[in-house]
């Protein structure tokens, strides 16, 4: 009888068991520095199955979701105490599989992998089956791609334990029943993926192929509850195992590449099951370890035309403010922030970061690892301004010198926060313009939880959307909607020229009355003199 559940579409019915091999390829064993003398196994629930094209959710507050391209065997006839020579006769078909694992949950599983590999959607399978009678089990090719880049390429010739040996060994311990699935292990190349990444796995047997099993990684919104069970945690050991090597884990930490590919920043547009404009948002949102939604992407901010940037850089904030006010925009100043270094000035497009009020359980879930704060600083691009919503709370820092250095190295135009700055003198010495509500020595977790990035935020009493244009100088910081930026700056330049001419007249002894603002007589004189 065919099961109509799409999770079991490839198999035609729900399998009774999914058994997975811990370590079976020589390349993977060499990578991990240990080669087992005999195969070992763990179970995965059938509810973890997913079809090709499905999404896999990285839970809120986690960072180490890793893919493992594998060959799956589907049992055709019950097997109990079969020999390796006879074992393959009990296999009906082979297909592609992806044995996803969440290394943040691995330590507390203590080898069982119940939580780390049992999640819904953590075992994509398909899209097509290849008959076992049509293939040589010693000559199957397995490949995996992440965002189109080939990251795993091996064959069953590289197995430590043959497929037939695995089937025979399992049959010594329990009956393999019709429809059961065996995941036969992954070769070297398994690594970490993040929301936005697309993982594809394919198995080939000469001209026969399963086709590409495609899975899209998305960000989850639901946090784990510490009152019910242990929370996710990641240490250097788990990072090394997840990334595939200590070098890869270290490189990711140093470069901010949390994708595992070097290709897809954490804030790429992602298909998510939560409100989204294509950046991170929601409770918390995507690209962040927290959740999804908002207005997103690494390119969520707009690229500022160099000529427009140059004009904006030549106009005081006060002049821009006047022109915005003439157009009915009065609530566009980020109030209460001041340059950490006198004389600071900047022009850039907004890259936003939002903190929510501190709560112990939420900080435990979202405050550690590559959290929203770190991701924002790792993703900021050249000419962008990190705008931080801290609710005007200055009772702890919202950044320190390390993050300021990171933003400066990546070419950020400035950092604006309506919260505090820690290590203020060191931050000022970095050289990037920083506008803040004040200095404070306490760390982030005293008052804030890093929550989401690239969403509309409220900073200093005004709303800032990703891609808004910000200009800052000694008078403060102003927000300019991109659609009217050219019009506003041209009008401000014209007004500046007019004000400069008026200032010359006042300096030469003319009274202000009738001149500022100009009456018809003075305006005619102005036009006459400036037309020459």
- Structural domain boundaries of the chain? 6-219, 306-485, 487-531
Q: Round to whole Å and give the CA distance between 330 and 481.
A: 12
Residue 36: Cβ within 10 Å count: 13
Which CA distances in Å does 207 have to 86, 129, 141, 162?
25, 13, 11, 22
Torsion of CA 105, 110, 112, 113, to 10 degrees: 20
**What is the pairing mode between strands 457-459 and 462-464?**
antiparallel
**What is the pairing mode between strands 414-421 and 434-439?**
parallel
Q: By the 8 A CB rule, do 451 and 443 touch?
A: no
Q: In three state form, how does the secondary structure of 235-269 look?
A: CHHHHHHHHCCHHHHHHHHHHCCCCCCCCCCCCCC
CATH architecture of the domain covering 6-219: Alpha-Beta Complex (3.90)
Q: How far apart are the first and last CA of the chain?
A: 91
Residue 225: Cβ within 10 Å count: 10
Same fold, 6-219 and 306-485: no
CATH architecture of the domain covering 306-485: 3-Layer(bba) Sandwich (3.50)
The token duo for 140 is: 């199957």
CA angle 490, 496, 501 (to 5 degrees): 135
Sequence-distant (6+) residues with CB within 8 A of 282 are 221, 272, 274, 275, 276, 291, 292, 293, 294, 452
Tens of each residue's pLDDT in the chain, 532 residues: 456 799 999 999 999 999 999 999 999 998 888 899 999 999 999 999 999 999 999 998 888 999 999 999 999 999 999 999 999 999 999 999 999 999 999 887 777 899 999 999 999 999 999 999 999 999 999 999 999 999 999 999 999 999 999 999 999 999 999 999 999 999 999 999 999 999 999 999 999 999 999 999 999 888 888 788 878 887 778 888 888 887 777 776 554 444 333 333 333 333 322 222 223 333 333 333 333 333 333 334 457 889 999 999 999 999 999 999 999 999 999 999 999 999 999 999 999 999 999 999 888 888 887 889 999 999 999 999 999 999 999 999 999 999 999 999 999 999 999 999 999 999 999 999 999 999 999 988 899 999 999 999 999 999 999 999 999 999 999 999 999 999 999 999 988 887 788 888 889 888 888 878 888 887 888 887 877 6
Sequence-distant (6+) residues with CB within 8 A of 338 are 435, 436, 437, 476
Q: Round to whole Å and give the CA distance between 318 and 302.
A: 24
Residue 348: Cβ within 10 Å count: 28
Q: What is the DSSP string of 466-506?
A: TT-EEEEETTEEEEE-GGGHHHHHHHHHHHHHHHHHHHHHH
């Amino acid at each position: 009888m065919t099961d109509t559940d799409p999770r079991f579409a490839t198999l035609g019915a729900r399998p009774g068991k999914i058994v997975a091999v811990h370590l079976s390829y020589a390349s993977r064993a060499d990578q991990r520095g240990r080669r087992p003398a005999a195969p070992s196994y763990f179970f995965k629930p059938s509810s973890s199955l997913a079809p090709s094209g499905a999404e896999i959710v990285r839970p809120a507050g986690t960072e180490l979701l890793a893919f493992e391209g594998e060959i799956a065997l589907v049992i055709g006839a019950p097997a109990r105490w079969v020999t390796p020579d006879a074992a393959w006769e009990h296999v009906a078909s082979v297909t592609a599989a992806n044995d996803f694992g969440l290394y943040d949950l691995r330590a507390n599983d203590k080898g069982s992998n119940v939580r780390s590999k049992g999640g819904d959607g953590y075992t994509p399978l398909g899209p097509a089956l290849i008959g076992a009678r049509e293939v040589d089990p010693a000559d199957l090719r397995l490949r995996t791609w992440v965002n189109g880049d080939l990251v795993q390429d091996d064959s069953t010739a590289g197995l430590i334990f043959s497929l037939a040996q695995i089937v025979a060994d399992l049959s010594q311990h329990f009956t393999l029943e019709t429809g059961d699935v065996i995941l036969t292990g992954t070769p070297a190349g398994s690594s970490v993926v993040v929301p936005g990444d697309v993982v594809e796995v394919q198995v080939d047997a000469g001209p026969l192929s399963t086709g590409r099993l495609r899975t899209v990684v998305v960000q989850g919104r639901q946090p784990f509850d510490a009152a019910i069970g242990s929370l996710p945690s990641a240490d250097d050991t788990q990072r090394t195992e997840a990334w595939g090597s200590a070098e890869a884990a270290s490189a990711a930490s140093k470069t901010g590449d949390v994708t595992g590919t070097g290709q897809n920043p954490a804030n790429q547009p992602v298909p998510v099951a939560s409100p989204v404009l294509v950046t991170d948002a929601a409770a918390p949102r995507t690209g962040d370890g927290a959740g999804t939604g908002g207005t997103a992407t690494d390119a969520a901010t707009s690229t500022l035309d160099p000529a427009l940037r140059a004009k904006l850089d030549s106009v005081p904030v006060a002049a821009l403010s006047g022109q915005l006010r003439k157009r009915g925009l009065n609530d566009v100043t980020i109030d209460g922030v001041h340059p950490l270094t006198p004389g600071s000035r900047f022009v850039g497009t907004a890259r936003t970061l939002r903190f929510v009020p501190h709560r112990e359980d939420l900080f435990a879930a979202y405050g550690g690892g590559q959290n929203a704060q770190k991701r924002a600083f790792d993703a900021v691009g050249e000419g962008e301004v990190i705008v931080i919503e801290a609710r005007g709370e200055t009772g702890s820092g919202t950044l320190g010198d390390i993050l300021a250095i990171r933003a400066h190295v990546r070419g950020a135009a400035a950092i604006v926060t309506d919260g505090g700055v820690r290590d203020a003198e060191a931050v000022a010495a970095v050289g990037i313009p920083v506008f803040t509500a004040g200095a404070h020595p306490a760390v982030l977790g005293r008052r804030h939880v890093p929550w989401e990035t690239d969403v509309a935020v409220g900073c200093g009493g005004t709303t800032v959307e990703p891609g808004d244009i910000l200009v800052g100088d000694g008078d403060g910081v102003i927000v300019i909607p991109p659609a009217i930026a050219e019009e506003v700056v041209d009008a401000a330049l014209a007004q500046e020229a007019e004000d400069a001419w008026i200032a010359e007249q006042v300096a030469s002894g003319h009274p202000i009355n009738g001149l500022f603002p100009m009456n018809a007589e003075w305006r005619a004189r102005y036009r006459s003199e400036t037309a020459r």
